[in-house]
Amino acid sequence: LIIYALNTLSKHGFEMFITPDVAKEEVLKGIGFNPRGNESNVYTIEEEGTCLVATAEITLGGYHSGEILDKAKLPLLYGGLSHCFRREAGSYGKDVRGLNRLHQFDKVEIVRIDTPEHSYESLKEMVDHVEGLLVKLGLPYRILKLCGGDMSFTSAICYDFEVWSAAQKRWLEVSSTSNFESYQANRLKCRYRRTADKKTELCHTLNGSALALPRIVAAIMENNQTPEGIRVPEVLVPYCGFEYLDDKF
Q: Catalytic residue positions?
A: 86, 101, 173, 176, 215
Distance of CA 9 to the CA centre of its chain: 13
What pLDDT does residue 47 have? 82
User: Strands 76-85 and 104-114: what pairing?
Assistant: antiparallel
Report pLDDT for 64: 95
Q: H-helix or E-strand containing 212?
A: strand 204-212
Instruction: Look at residue 36 and tell me whether its pLDDT is greater than 90.
Output: no
Q: What is this structure's pTM?
A: 0.88
Do β-strands 68-70 and 191-193 pair in parallel, antiparallel, or remain unpaired?
A: parallel
- pLDDT surpasses 90 at 169: no
Over residues 199-219, mean pLDDT: 91
Q: Which pLDDT does position 39 carry in this prediction?
A: 56
Q: 73-85, pLDDT tens digit by residue? A: 999 999 999 999 9
Helix (H) or strand (E) holding 165: strand 157-165
Please confirm whether the linkage preceding 74 is cis (ω < 30° from 0): no
Mean pLDDT over the full length of the chain: 89
The answer to whether 40 and 28 are in contact (CB under 8 A) is no
